[in-house]
Amino acid sequence: MSAQSTPAVETAKNPGEALCLHFRQQIERALSYELISGLLPVGNFISAVAEDVAAQPKLAEAFRRSPGTAMQCLLQAAQCKLLVGARYQKFFLVPRERRGAPEVTSIIGYKGLMEMALRHPRVHSITANLVYEGEPFEWLPGENKLHHAWRMDIDRSDDLVVAAYARCVITEPNSTRAVTDDPIFEVMPRAEILALRERSEAYRFAE
C-alpha cells in the first residue's frame, strides 16, 4: 500500500503516529542510510512525530489528506537523523495549502544544520552569538579576526540586535587536534538578518 492510500491514517486519532507505524520499515531503512553519520532510534523518531502532529491540528489534517507529502518529509528527516518538531527546533513539519488542498512541507532549522555539521569528523566545534547595541564588536575579514565583548549590563531585546556571527573550529586532517588559531567565521549584520527572516518560511510558520 502506498502513502497515497492509507485509510488507517485518515481515521487515526494521531495520523502522524499512525503513518510512522504503517511505514515503520521504510523509516528504519532511512534512519540507517549513511547519507549523514549518527544514530537515532526509530522509537524516539516516531514519538517526536506523534507529539508534533498532536500539537498542530492543521498539520494533522495535512497528514490525513496528503500522506504522500508527509512521508517525503519524514523520510528526509530520518535520512538526516533529526528529530522533528518545535520542541527540538531541528526539523520542522509545516502544513501549507497548495491548489486548495493541504500538504506537508519541511524546513531544517539552524539547530539541525549545526547538529549535522558537528557530525563531520573535521568539525571540532560550532558556536553562534548575537551582538547587541552597547557591546564592543569588531570584525576584520582580511585578517580573519573577530572581537566581541559580551556585556550583561545592557538591554538584550530583539530589536537591539546589531549583528550575528558563527564561529567554527575545525581539526587538522586525520587528527582530532583543533586548529584554534584559524577558526572559520560567518558574520551577518542586522539588515541582512531581517531580510533573510522576511523570506523565511520557518519565521512565517512560527508567527
**Whole-angstrom Cα distance, residue 137 to residue 145?**
11
Q: What is the pTM of this model?
A: 0.79
Secondary structure, 3-state, 80-141? HCCCECCCCCCEEEEEEEECCEEEEEEEECHHHHHHHHHCCCCEEEEEEEEEECCCCEEEEC
| C-alpha cell, 156 | 538584550
Residue 41 has what pLDDT?
96
pLDDT of residue 198: 82
The length of the chain is 207
pLDDT at 1: 43
Cβ contact 64:9 at 8 Å: yes
pLDDT digits (tens, 9 = 90+) for 161-185: 999 999 999 999 989 899 999 999 9
Q: Sheet containing 161-170: which strands, arranged edge to edge?
A: 123-132, 161-170, 184-189
Q: Packing angle between helix 15-22 and helix 24-32, nearest 10 degrees?
A: 70
CA 22 to chain centre: 25
C-alpha cell belonging to residue 132: 547587541
Residues of the chain scoring pLDDT < 50: 1
- Helix/strand/coil for 187: strand
pLDDT of residue 201: 62
